[in-house]
Amino acid sequence: MSSKVTTDQSVVLMITSGIIAFSLFLQYEFAIKQALLFLIGIGLGVTLLHAAFGFTGSWRVFVRKRRGAGVRAQILLIALTSVLFFPLLGEAFPELRANAALAPVGISVLVGAFVFGLGMQFGNGCGSGTLFTVGGGHVRMLIVLAFFIVGATIGTVHLPVWLTLPSLGKISIINSFGWLTALIMQLFVLAVLYAVVRAIEKKRHNDVVQLGAPSDKLFTERLVFGPWTLVWAVVAMALFNLATLLLAGHPWTITFGFGLWGTKLWAAMGGDVSQWAFWQTGYAAKALNGSVLADTTTLMNFGIILGAMLAAALAGKFAPDSKINKADLMTAIIGGLLMGYGARLAFGCNIGGLLAGISSGSLHGWLWLIAGFTGTLVGVRLRIIFKIDKPIEA
């Protein structure tokens, strides 16, 4: 028997009107491309919230309880996105050109991803997780987001110094081996990783949680009101990411927008950003000197938040009851700062660094995964030491 969903109709109406109005505004003020990128963000927000697709919780559950459904879904997402991205980035279709998320394999990524992995366990949300939980109306996550922005802004000030530390430079396995060989190699490694995660879960529990949990709800009912299966989320996110690559010319990324917002805000308050080297050249300079609405990451971030708001209202889950105590406040501030700073050093969060990096064939994405997961291991341990979580049961 399916449980009845109490849709928050007033919020649905307001958000839907807002989405339509803002899309039309973007189309009028810029071009259809900006409106479409915003709508892709809406789609991602709905997907993330309806499937509760997060990295933080699933990594912690895997570390603590050896349950790996979320982690396996993430591996599938990386694999499917790679299948879609590699031919495009390897110029199998020369008429379609796009930029890979290439970044140097160095100390900056190593430290940044570790700090991010640690911070996400305190913040209780990653890059995408913070956005969709804010959209879901979780007030504590607003605090995380605010300090995420502060951390990312400080990160843009310090990044040039970090980049003077040792680095192997940008390494693309697509450029090194050709897109087909590189894709086969990558899928093989991901398959091994998937098998290892599955084996660990099976060993501990003698069973494995399925990614496509059955439901007695109608397909359309589930599609609109949720919850979605992780498999639906994987397919939707990979397709939205492909659409982003084709439209924006780069993979889905989140945290550049946070640094941009913080820097613009600092400048608006009278701060001098003319000495911040990060903002003096390339896309960053263009973004800082233009309208915030011209930045693709900003549009998509706004879309994710509004899309998650819409999904939460449809599911009757918008702005749940919550009280924020002193510990919540402290972990939100620390987590947000660490994630923001770490993401800038690591050339992105779990989306722009990990997912986009690996799916673009950039070796820095793999380094991100190792360092970020190590940071999470430490973060899970610290949560126990600070009595946020109970000790892990054997």
**Which contacts qualify for 138-143: CB closer than 8 Å, 24 or more apart?**
138/319, 138/320, 138/322, 139/319, 139/322, 139/324, 140/322, 140/324, 140/328, 140/329, 140/332, 141/332, 143/324, 143/329, 143/332, 143/333, 143/336
Q: Least Å distance between CB 75 and another protein?
A: 21
State which residue, 50 or 264, has the beta carbon closest to another protein: 264
Question: Per-residue b/e over 377-393, b at no fewer than 16 CB within 10 Å?
Answer: bebbeebeeeebeeeee
* Opening angle at CA 281, ends 276 and 285, nearest 5: 75
State which residue, 75 or 345, has the beta carbon closest to another protein: 345
State which residue, 51 or 284, has the beta carbon closest to another protein: 284
Query: Does residue 152 contact residue 262 with C-beta atoms inside 8 Å?
Result: yes
Residue 123 exposure: Cα atoms within 13 Å on the Cβ side: 39
- Where along the sequence are the contacts to another protein (CB under 8 A)? 11, 29, 31, 33, 96-104, 137, 139, 142, 163, 170, 245-251, 253, 256, 264-265, 268, 278, 282-284, 286-287, 289-293, 295-297, 302, 309, 318-323, 347-348, 352-353, 356-357, 362
Q: Least Å distance between CB 203 and another protein?
A: 37
Q: Least Å distance between CB 354 and another protein?
A: 11
CA distances from 65 to 55, 62, 203, 393 (A): 15, 5, 12, 8
How long is the chain? 394
The dihedrals phi and psi of 387, each to the nearest 5 degrees, come to 60, 30
State which residue, 203 or 326, has the beta carbon closest to another protein: 326
Query: Does residue 93 contact residue 247 with C-beta atoms inside 8 Å?
Result: no
Q: Least Å distance between CB 212 and another protein?
A: 30
Closest CA to 344 of 286, 261, 267, 274: 261
Q: Least Å distance between CB 224 and another protein?
A: 21
Which residues lie across from 172 on neighbouring strands? 362
Local structure of residue 292 (DSSP, 8 states): G
Closest CA to 363 of 88, 170, 182: 170
State which residue, 44 or 248, has the beta carbon closest to another protein: 248
Question: 3-state class of 8 per DSSP?
Answer: coil
Q: Least Å distance between CB 101 and another protein?
A: 4
Q: Least Å distance between CB 293 and another protein?
A: 5
Q: Least Å distance between CB 168 and another protein?
A: 13
State which residue, 63 or 101, has the beta carbon closest to another protein: 101
State which residue, 62 or 318, has the beta carbon closest to another protein: 318
State which residue, 244 or 376, has the beta carbon closest to another protein: 244
Q: Least Å distance between CB 321 and another protein?
A: 5
Closest CA to 127 of 338, 358, 394, 385: 338
State which residue, 67 or 344, has the beta carbon closest to another protein: 344
